[in-house]
Amino acid sequence: MAGSGFLQEHWDEIVSLTLEHLWLTSAAMVFATAISIPLGILLARWRALARPVLGVVNTLQTIPSLAMFGFLMPLPFIGERAARIAIVALVAYALLPIVRNTYTGITGVDVTVMDVAEAVGMTNWQRLRKVELPLAMPFILAGLRTATVTCVGIATIAAAVGAGGLGEFIFRGVASVDNRLVLAGAVPAAMLALGADGLLGLLEWKLRVPGTGRP
């Protein structure tokens, strides 16, 4: 069969590009999480900052991805390597869902519960760690899910600046009008997205708080 011959021929490349794709996405998600969750907490503490900061993060989201890669190319350090460009761009797209959900999750905690947390003598840090974060966790995870799926998708475009990943197949397939190549990129990318979504969904379900009327 022609199909299985194609698979055999490209198998090694599919595996290595999938791993590269996974690495780009994971690296971006690690950075994005490390920035976004503290930022979301900060905004929940100083709510006056929430509108302007979320506005800026929102604007990042509206930049077309190809243009974003283009903007980053001439920058020192970041522009020196394709993978750096890709990761920085992916981080920019991943910020909004995580920051927004962390902020919404924390500010949405029942005011009575927060009142009691303060009145029984919890320190600021204890309130955050024992009450706000656990109760906001399903929201934060939902944000991580959205961000991960977005990243997996946008990472395919990183191939345009030579960062590799499954986009390589797609661009090659488009250039040579070979649908099999397009699918060799698109199908594993879709599976990565679905897999990550499913895993995080499972975690979200495990950490939900029954009886709060929240997800």
Interface positions with other proteins (CB under 8 A): 110, 112-113, 115-123, 126, 130-131, 134-135, 209-212
> Residue 170: which of 154, 158, 186, 155 has the closest Cα?
186
Shorter beta-carbon distance to other proteins: residue 47 or 129 = 129
Cα(185)–Cα(126) distance, integer angstroms: 46
- The conformational region for residue 110 under phi > 0 = left, psi -120 to 50 = alpha, else beta, is beta
Contact 166, 17 (CB under 8 A): yes
Place of tokens 């909004």: 96
**Closer by beta carbon to other proteins, 113 or else 183:** 113
Nearer to other proteins, 172 or 214 (CB): 214
Q: How far is CA 142 from CA 8, 36, 45, in A?
A: 37, 13, 21
Q: Which is nearer to other proteins, 48 or 119 (CB)?
A: 119
Helix count (H) and strand count (E) of the chain? 9, 0
Q: Whole-number minimum distance, CB 110 to other proteins, in Å?
A: 8
Nearest approach, Cβ of 102 to other proteins (angstroms)?
Answer: 17
Q: How far is the CB of 215 from other proteins (least distance, A)?
A: 13
Q: Which is nearer to other proteins, 62 or 124 (CB)?
A: 124
Number of Cβ within a 10 Å radius of residue 54: 18
Quote the least distance from Cβ 125 to other proteins, whole Å: 10
Report the nearest approach of other proteins to the CB of residue 115 (Å): 6
The Cα-based distances of 195 to 147, 190, 191 in angstroms read: 14, 8, 6
